[in-house]
Amino acid sequence: MNFSSKLLENAVNEFSRLPGVGQKTALRLVLHLLNQPAHDIERFSDALTKLKTEICYCEICNNIADQTICEICRAPKRDKGLICVVEDTRDVMAIESTQQFHGVYHVLGGLISPMDGVGPSDLNIDKLVERLRNEDVHEVILALSATMEGDTTIFYLYKKLKDFKVQISTIARGIAFGGELEYVDEVTLGRSIATRVPYERSIA
């Protein structure tokens, strides 16, 4: 692309670094922004700046939050003894939208993937073990995607957690097979959490 302005080129280059955004789309977005009132652009850039500088990760569950302890972990009504382990914050949002789950979460921040060089130490696993050691947890639900990485991570977590006096369950993965959690519809996801099965039985 031949740009008539270096500033335009810079903005397009920044947008095209986003996943799924090519140069043409980037140019369209930048030209759209250029036509907006100045205060709208300020609000837009302010949201981006604060995203990085002000967002926290909950000290208990590692979910994205505005404070050091997230709203879910702070809610008195939540069952702190029921922990749902998920890959990332999108899964928390998907499960929350089912309104079927009243426990708390533990966000791993990824899945074990030797192909991508992601090992257990890159994930938020030690903190989960610590929670089981220090808190009165009665059940851990492993709600991870039905992919090879999801299976590997579930098996690893099972080995890590099985010696604690805690029920380990997985969600009905036949239903969600081949799909990431966030793409499963709310009714199906809600049902699969309600009908979760003990992990030992699911591998038999």
- Does 60 bind Zn ion (CB under 5 A)? Our answer is yes
Of the candidate spans 61-69, 78-86, 93-101, 188-196, the one that interacts with Zn ion by CB under 5 A turns out to be 61-69
Cβ 163 to Zn ion shortest distance, Å: 25
Among 11, 26, 61, 146, which residue sits at the site for Zn ion (rule: CB under 5 A)?
61
Asked if 63 and 118 touch (Cβ cutoff 8 Å), the reply is no
Which pairing describes strands 139-142 and 79-86: parallel, antiparallel, or unpaired?
parallel
Among 11, 27, 58, 92, which residue sits at the site for Zn ion (rule: CB under 5 A)?
58
Of the candidate spans 62-70, 110-118, 127-135, 143-151, the one that interacts with Zn ion by CB under 5 A turns out to be 62-70
Q: Which is nearer to Zn ion, 87 or 149 (CB)?
A: 87
Q: Which is nearer to Zn ion, 11 or 86 (CB)?
A: 86
- Does 181 bind Zn ion (CB under 5 A)? Our answer is no
Among 30, 73, 107, 112, which residue sits at the site for Zn ion (rule: CB under 5 A)?
73
DSSP letters for the chain: ---S-HHHHHHHHHHTTSTT--HHHHHHHHHHHHTS-HHHHHHHHHHHHHHHHH-EE-TTT--EESSSS-HHHH-TTSEEEEEEEESSHHHHHHHHHHT---EEEEE-SS--BGGGTB-GGGTTTHHHHHHHHHS---EEEE---SSHHHHHHHHHHHHHHTTSS-EEEE--TTTTTTS-GGGS-HHHHHHHHHT-EEHHHHH-
Q: Which is nearer to Zn ion, 80 or 160 (CB)?
A: 80
- Does 95 bind Zn ion (CB under 5 A)? Our answer is no
Cβ 108 to Zn ion shortest distance, Å: 13
Size of the site for Zn ion (CB under 5 A): 6
- Does 70 bind Zn ion (CB under 5 A)? Our answer is yes
Q: Which is nearer to Zn ion, 62 or 172 (CB)?
A: 62
Q: Give me the residues that bind Zn ion (CB under 5 A), please.
A: 58, 60-61, 63, 70, 73
